Structure 1
Amino acid sequence: MEGLAEVRQEGRPRRVERQDPPLDLGSPRTIRVVAIGGGTGLPMLLQGLARFSRRATALGPFEITAIVAVSDDGGSSGRLRRENGVLPPGDIRNCLVALADVRRRSIARLFGFRFGAGRGLRGHSLGNLLITALTSLEGDFLSAVERAGRMLGCQGRILPATLEPVHLIGRLSDGSRIVGERTFDRRRSSPIERVELAPGAPPASPGVLEAIRQADAIVLGPGSLYSSVISNLLVAGVADAIRQSSAVRILVQNLMTQPGETDDLDAAGHVRAVLRHAGDVADFLLVDRGRSHPRELLDRYARRGQVPVVLDESLVLSQGVIPIGAELAAKRGRIRHDPDKVAAAVLGLVLQAREA
Structure 2
Amino acid sequence: MSDRKQMNRDWETWRRWFAPGIGVKRWLLLLALGAIIAGIGIGAFIVELGQQDLLVGDIYGLITLSFLPVGLRILIPLFAGGILIFIAVFKLSKNIVAPFRAPGVRVVDSLHMYTQKSRGPRIVAIGGGTGLPALLRGLTEYTNHITAIVTVADDGGSSGRLRRDMGVLPPGDFRNNMAALARDEALMTQLLQYRFGGQLHGDGNGRNGLQGHAFGNLLLVALTGITGSFDEALVAAGRVLAVRGQVLPSTLANVTLVADVIPEAQVEPQRIVGESSIPKALGRVEMVALEPAEVPAYPQSVKAILQADLVVIGPGSLYTSIIPNLLVKDITRALQRTRAKKIYVCNLAVQPGETDNYNVADHVMAIQRHTVVDEMDERGIIDVVLANRNLSVPPTTGGGFTVFVKPDDPGSVPMVTLDLVDEKRPWRHDSKKLSKAVIDFV
**In which range does the TM-score fall when normalised by the shorter chain?**
0.7 to 0.9
Quote the Cα distance in structure 2 between the aligned partners of 1:269 and 1:207: 31
Residue 62 of structure 2 corresponds to none
For 1:170 and 1:113, how far apart are their aligned partners in 2?
32
Residue 348 to residue 258, structure 1, CA distance change in 2 (3 Å): same
3-state SS in 1 of match to 2:329: coil
Other structure's SS at 2:415 match: strand
Q: Name the aligned partner's letter for residue 221 of structure 1.
A: G
Per mean C-alpha deviation after superposition, the further-off stretch among 249-258 and 275-284 is 275-284
Identical pairs, percent: 45
Residues 395 and 426 in structure 2, CA contact (< 8 A), matched pair in contact too: no
CA distance in 1 between counterparts of 2:231 and 2:423 reads: 37
Q: CA deviation at 1:131?
A: 0.5
Match of 2:301 in 1: 208
Aligned pair in 2 of structure 1 residues 105, 332: CA closer, same or farther (>3 Å)? closer
Give matches, 1:106-121, under 5 Å: 106-117=187-198, 118=200, 119-121=208-210
For the residues of structure 2 that align with 1:285 and 1:264, how far apart are their CA atoms? Answer: 19
Deviation at 1:101, TM superposition (A): 0.7
Q: Which residue of 1 aligns with 2:315?
A: 222
Partner of 1:125: 214
Contact 2:129–2:321 under 8 Å retained in 1: yes
1:49-102 per-residue CA deviation (whole Å, 9 max, x = no partner) reads: 11223xxxxxxxx41011011100000000000000000000000111000012
Instruction: Give runs of ≥4 in structure 1 deviating > 3 Å.
Output: 26-30, 104-108, 295-300
| Partners of 1:77 and 1:90 within 8 A in 2 | yes
- Alpha-carbon shift at residue 295 of structure 1 (Å): 4.9
Q: Determine the C-alpha separation between the residues in 2 that align with 1:181 and 1:330.
A: 27
Aligned to 1:48: 138
Q: Which residue of 2 aligns with 1:322?
A: 414
- Does residue 266 (structure 1) correspond to residue 347 (structure 2)? The answer is no
Cα distance between partner residues in 2 of 1:144 and 1:250: 30
- Please state if 1:311 is matched with 2:311: no
Please give the residue correspondences for 1:42-81 in structure 2 after superposition, counting only pairs within 5 Å. 42-53=132-143, 62-81=144-163
- What is the RMSD of the two structures over their aligned residues, measured on CA atoms? 2.0
By how many angstroms is 1:289 displaced? 2.3
Report SS of the residue matched to 1:207: helix
**CA distance in 1: counterparts of 2:394 and 2:261, whole angstroms:** 34
- Structure exhibiting the larger radius of gyration computed from Cα positions: 2
User: Do structure 1's residue 194 and structure 2's residue 287 form an aligned pair?
Assistant: yes
Q: Which has the higher helix share?
A: 2
1:121, distance to aligned residue in structure 2 (A):
1.3
> What is the TM-score of this pair, normalised by structure 1?
0.82
1:254 counterpart = 2:347: yes
Q: Is the 8 A contact 1:108 1:152 kept in 2?
A: no
Partner residue, 2:431: 339
1:208, 1:49 → 2: CA distance?
19
How far apart are the structure 2 equivalents of 1:107 and 1:252? 26
C-alpha distance after superposition, 1:136-179 (max 9, x if no partner): 00000000011011001000011011111111010235232111
| Structure 1 residues 193 and 137: alpha-carbon distance in aligned structure 2, compared to 1, 3 A threshold | same
Q: Counterpart of 2:224 in 1: which secondary structure?
A: helix
- Which position in structure 2 is the counterpart of 1:349? 441
Matched, 1:282 2:382: yes
Structure 1: segments with no counterpart, 5+ residues: 1-25, 54-61, 351-356
Aligned-partner Cα distance in 1 for 2:223–2:399: 44
The alpha carbon displacement at 1:283 in A equals 1.1
- Is the CA contact (8 Å cut-off) linking 1:187 and 1:259 kept in structure 2? no
- 2:273 maps to a residue whose letter is V
Equivalenced residues, count: 307
Query: Is residue 298–residue 307 contact of structure 1 (8 Å, CA) maintained in 2?
Result: no
Alpha-carbon distance between aligned partners in 2 of 1:299 and 1:122, rounded to the nearest angstrom: 27
3-state secondary structure, aligned to 1:200: coil
Q: How has the CA–CA distance of structure 1 residues 176 and 281 changed in structure 2, closer, same or farther, with 3 Å as cutoff?
A: same
With over 3 angstroms needed to count, the CA separation of the structure-2 counterparts of 1:158 and 1:296, relative to structure 1, is: closer
Query: Which one-letter code corresponds to 1:149 in the other structure?
Result: G
Amino acid across the alignment from 2:244: Q
Any stretches of 5+ residues in structure 2 without a counterpart? 1-115, 201-207, 263-267, 373-379
CA contact (8 A) 1:36 1:232 kept: yes
CA contact (8 A) 1:169 1:196 kept: yes
